[in-house]
A and B are shown apart, each in its own frame.
Chain A
Amino acid sequence: MAAELIRQVKAYAWLQRAAWKASFAYRGNTANTIVGVAAVQGAQLLFIGVLLDRFGAVAGWSIPEVALLYGMRLTAHGICTTCFGQHTAVAIMLREGYYDRFLLRPVNPFLQVLTARFNLGTLGDLGLGLTILAVAAPAAPVRWTPLTVSFLAGAVLGGGLVEAGVQIALSGLSFRVSMFSAKATVSTVFTDFGAYPMTIFGHAGAHALTFALPLAFVAYLPCTVILGRTAELVVPAWLAYGAPLAGPLLLYAGYRFFIRQSRHYVSTGN
């Protein structure tokens, strides 16, 4: 069992390296993709920038506090897209019949889906996220200690896995139905509403965005721990302290769901 796990992890590394190398085959496209991703995040940044400029604070959170939250969310998103982003392509792979070849190799097909390509643009998400974190962290009212820094690191890693777990589960549904809108919806909710203090969504909204869609685990819950704002939570504070652990759990759940759904796979004609 352990040997098999090691073999699969190694396979992931080899395949990811090949995908990384292949991503440089089209230089023009690479530059293009990076520009595109920068545009998406840039528009988002402008949006938040204009809002903060006009309104100053959101739900009692100062500008540096919201910036820290935003940086955490974007970094987590970058981790999700760089390491797990390719799962979204599974619908296309199924339609075009590429999925078959993953079943012919002695490697977990899910890993082969993840490593079919490497989207260099996703590095834009990660880079911008880290930059914002680097700018916001010193400005935020936090006394940084090794403990808080490692909590922050664990939180953004875990946050990335939370998003990946949810998205991977949705991608798993592609084996049965077209879920394009659902995936687009969830990813825009993650992108557009993940960087606000959840109190603005009210009691019910905050619960829904914690338990129905685990958006709060991505950045908000751990951020309240770092900022010492756990008192404002509508959920128990231990959830916020344990938030980084939600990532691996949700990723595993999403992966299991994906694999279950993949049993419904019906190969296309040729």
Chain B
Amino acid sequence: MRYGRPPASAAIIAKAAKSVLIYRSDILVGIVSLALRVVLVHLVWQALYAGDASVAGIGRDDAIGYAILGAIFNVTFQPWHFSSLMSRVSDGTVVFDLIRPVGLITLSLGQQFGAVLAGFPRALIGMAVALALGAVPPPTGVATALAFVVSSLLGLAIALLCNLLVAMTAFWTTEIYGAIMVYHMAAAFCSGALIPLWFMPGPLATALSCLPFSAQVFTPLSIYLGREPDMHTLASIGGQLVWVVALAGLSRLVWRRALLRVVIHGG
């Protein structure tokens, strides 16, 4: 695995972001859509709580705030727009990527990151709507906000690496459409983007917290909604770091194997 020089990577990221932004009407619709989603999720969870102050030990405000942040994270960090690596492997154009002076992993991660970056303005607008509605409380302090940002970026890194790993299965089989759907839905559900892990039955919640998905969304959101950061927060961020290192190592391994496959099957 080679990592491209910074200028090359920056160019790839910028290009990917631009190619998403080029569909302007689409962007506008995307913004409106997320804002609408924030409002609807707010209404649904208000209705779910009805008069209750707390369900399953979780307070109303926390649950609503979580659901909305989860929706924003889901749209921004777990987009349908997947790594182009897959289609390029299946139609064979990946050979052109291999002869470029930038590593393919860098290329793929850069493209994904660019696409996510293009979704940031939308996420910020969604966040603003949520804060204005009072649906999401402002962070409890500067330290909380800081820890949230760090944890979110780590969550994003984990999401991108997971995507990359799934995309690399294209080197082994072209019929991965179903697998992608399963992965996407599993990621949305297991990361806690749809429902906080708090509400899930005990054993399920424990199992899910052991997977890398919860580190994508559940961890940063818990930090946001938690009190002042403490040792527990640091431990969570540390856990995310471990995931980043482990997944990066794993994708390096898989990539080596994939490259071998390309060489063997060459032509």
Contacts and interface: CB of A to CB of B under 8 A. Distances in A.
- The answer to whether A and B touch in the complex, with CB atoms under 8 Å apart, is yes
A178 B43 contact: no
B195 to A, nearest CB: 5
B172 interface: no
B48 A39 contact: no
Contacts of B80: 184
A133 B176 CA distance: 31
B30 interface: yes
Nearest to B81: A180
Interface string A188-227: 1100110010011110010000000000000000000000
B44 A200 contact: yes
Given A50-B199, A58-B48, A36 B29 contact: no
A26 B40 contact: no
A196 B43 CA distance: 11
Nearest to B33: A185
B27 A181 contact: yes
Interface residues of B, number: 40
Interface stretch (B144-152, B155-163, B183-191, B234-242): B183-191
A36 B178 contact: yes
Give the interface size bracket for A toward B.
Answer: 35 or more
Interface string A29-41: 1011111110110
Nearest to A33: B178
Contact of B26 (A26, A46, A59, A180): A180
Nearest to A37: B181
B178 A40 contact: no
Contacts of B201: 50, 53
B142 interface: no
A144 B49 CA distance: 32
B1 interface: no
A121 B181 CA distance: 11
Interface string B54-80: 011000000000000000000000001
Interface in B163-221: 175-182, 184-186, 188-189, 194-195, 199-201
A192 B47 CA distance: 15
Contacts of B36: 185, 189
B200 A50 contact: yes
Contacts of B55: 54-55
A14 interface: no
Contacts of A53: 201
Contacts of A33: 177-178
Contacts of A46: 189
B178 A181 contact: no
Given A51-B195, A184-B80, A43 B177 contact: no
A269 interface: no
Interface centre among A31, A51, A54, A59, by most B CB within 10 Å? A54
B26 A42 contact: no
A192 B195 CA distance: 13
Contacts of A193: 40, 44
B84 interface: no
A32 B179 contact: yes
A59 B47 contact: yes
Contacts of B46: 200
B23 A178 contact: yes
A43 B189 contact: yes
Report, nearest first, the 3 A-B pairs whose CB atoms are least far apart: A36-B181, A32-B178, A200-B47
5 contacts: A39-B185, A51-B48, A54-B56, A188-B37, A189-B37
